[in-house]
Structure 1
Amino acid sequence: MSKLTIALDIMGGDHGPPVILSAAIKAIQHHPDVNFTLCGDESIINPAIQVLSDAERRRVVVSHCDQVVDMGEAPTSALRHKKRSSMRKAIELVQAKEAHACVSAGNTGALLTLSFYLLKTLSGIDRPALVSMMPTASHHKVLLLDLGANVNCTPDILFQYGVMGSVLAQQVAGIASPRVALLNVGEEDIKGNAQVKSADQLFKDAPGINYIGYVEGDDIFTDHADVVVTDGFTGNVALKSSEGLAKLVVSEVKRHSQRNIYTRLMAKIAFPLLKSIYNSVNPDQYNGASLIGLRGIVIKSHGNASKDAFYYAIVQAMQEARMQVPDKIKTKIETVLLEQL
């Protein structure tokens, strides 16, 4: 692939341009083989990028946008009334093949709607899915999808998620034959609702997928599977619950370590170990949910992402662009569908 171009929505997110611009500058400085298009208000962007060298500045294009999709704005409103927004412009650059991928921390519903409208889904894919990596006890990573793109999923859609997740695990995580599992309330065949049971049979009938059956919620973090498939409602609850638990554990460790002089001393001694544990589960490094199943690469960052978290989302976009993930998904879907005929 020729030199990559990544389009960034500078105006999205809870913290706005300052955090996103800081992450963009870090990406520009750390990846000399990548060009960037910064979509947003040029009066905010231009002063911020003056810190770049002349060589770095030549790899940056500023695309002025005079509209912003608000975080609480209805997706239909963004689609109809924000045609000059930074979010839409970033997606349009992917649509026009002027960028290999785009990244936004903006309104999730609007990003999903605009991406679906502008880029369309791949042949054989009914709905795109939000997928992200999660840590496991063995320090491997597991892909969880869907994280909220579609709260109600048919068995066919769940099956498509498994195929797409398998391709992503192969191309981004480097797993030769990813283990695909369905999230369920138990591992026994008799458990689960009608959608899950029907999807289970679809996976069993597909020889091109390394399907291992059902897993329960606690198995997400035990390296039992490489790809865990569920509907967007359940996936989003699982994601937010795990993030909340991680924050609670960190908060409790900090609180208890400051109780008295002895706990402070113990915390100081244990600091290297605690830092290593925190770094392995730090949510920032898992920021960047891929909106897969589209005819282009769209990465959704958390709205409250820090500079480092948004930077990780940019890196995720570059990885998927280099591996040409949409093309690989298209080929895999076509192969699996042919095998089922």
Structure 2
Amino acid sequence: MKIAVDAMGGDFAPHAIVEGALLVSPELPEQVTVVLVGDQAAIQEVLGDRPLPGNIEIVHTSEVILMGEHPTKALAQKPNSSISVGFRLLKEQAIDVFCSAGNTGAMHVGALFSVKSVEGIMRPAIVGFAPQVSGQFAVLLDIGANADCKPEMLDQFGEIGSIYAKYTLGIPNPRVALINIGEEEQKGSLVVQAAYQLMKVNKKYNFVGNLEGKDFFTDKTDVIVCDGFTGNVILKMAESVYEILKSRGVNDEFLSHMNYEAIGGSPILGLNGNVMIAHGISSPLAIKNMILLAKRQVESEVYLKIKQALS
């Protein structure tokens, strides 16, 4: 298995990326290799006198897509960027998964142009993870790829989210809930009400109804479905709660699960391959945990399971 990571992506690249790879290296099985895609000299500078572990490789690239660049233009104008080369390797199946804390738009566009969407997927969705009071995590989608969603898209998010939770998180019959302003099926916007009607008759997953904000962390579901606008607001609010309480000296196990570093990465579901994005401010610990999550995703063959379900 080869897990490729964009060494030049993120606010603290390449330092955080290289250090994260070194951090995870001793924990990886013999058959797993981390491939750092980026400028070899910059990577070597971070390494200093430390030897490169045998399970880490470098693929040299000479260009970088910066955070503020236009995704489509940057991919076209910088074919030797770490993101462009990473997707080329993924398309050629030279790697099993491509991860980056860099330009999210470029990662999304690059994925759609290289490995493309699974046939039948309306829109790929970005997955987040919502900590639960039990210590487990619920899958949350979408968290930003699709600000506006049709009812049919929310229904499909329920299906692919359920497949992800089953095969990657090992939950036998994941419960799927729809974010809403009340538990009753007639509550909410017209889009959410229509989505509810589709989801309650869909036999491909275990729909348990609406989920109110007050129950977001209370183990009432395993998969939480919403549009990307709502999901992104919820995720960033949770991150801010963690930062505020941490700054006030609050120490709690549940609170620590709100830290973005706890999971490290967010898969993009609905693609013909494994793609994962990370927070732009990712630390070495976040990169380490993203690589471990990427390993689980490759092992689960979840994108193939989604492909089979929609064929």
Ranges in structure 1 where 5+ consecutive residues have no aligned partner? 255-273, 335-341
Ranges in structure 2 where 5+ consecutive residues have no aligned partner? none
| Bigger share in helix | 1
Is the 2:20–2:287 contact (alpha carbons within 8 Å) kept by the matching residues of 1? yes
Aligned equivalents of 1:181, 1:86: Cα separation in 2: 37
Are residues 1:63 and 2:59 paired? Answer: yes
Q: Which residue of 1 aligns with 2:18?
A: 21
The 3 A distance-change label for structure 1 pair 172 and 61 is: same
Q: Which amino acid aligns with 1:119?
A: V
Q: Which residue of 1 aligns with 2:151?
A: 155
The 3 A distance-change label for structure 1 pair 61 and 287 is: closer
Which of 183, 199, 206 is 2:195 aligned to? 199
Matches within 5 A, 1:1-341: 4-31=1-28, 32-49=30-47, 51-52=50-51, 56-57=53-54, 59-253=55-249, 274=251, 276-334=253-311
The 3 A distance-change label for structure 1 pair 277 and 155 is: closer
Is the 2:125–2:145 contact (alpha carbons within 8 Å) kept by the matching residues of 1? yes
Shift of 1:215: 0.7
SS in 1 for 2:181: coil
- Offset from partner CA, 1:237-278 (integer Å, 9 cap, x none): 010011101111111236xxxxxxxxxxxxxxxxxxx36455
Aligned equivalents of 1:298, 1:280: Cα separation in 2: 23
Question: How many percent identity over aligned positions?
Answer: 37
Q: Which amino acid aligns with 1:291?
A: I
Aligned equivalents of 1:246, 1:278: Cα separation in 2: 6
SS in 2 for 1:38: strand
Shift of 1:310: 1.1
Shift of 1:75: 1.4
Is the 2:90–2:97 contact (alpha carbons within 8 Å) kept by the matching residues of 1? yes
Aligned equivalents of 1:78, 1:67: Cα separation in 2: 10
TM-score normalised over the length of structure 1 = 0.86
Shift of 1:147: 0.6
RMSD of Structure 2 on Structure 1 (CA): 1.6
Shift of 1:142: 0.5
Aligned equivalents of 1:290, 1:194: Cα separation in 2: 29
Aligned equivalents of 1:320, 1:62: Cα separation in 2: 22
For the pair shown, the structure with the greater C-alpha radius of gyration is 1
Shift of 1:165: 0.5
Aligned equivalents of 1:238, 1:280: Cα separation in 2: 15
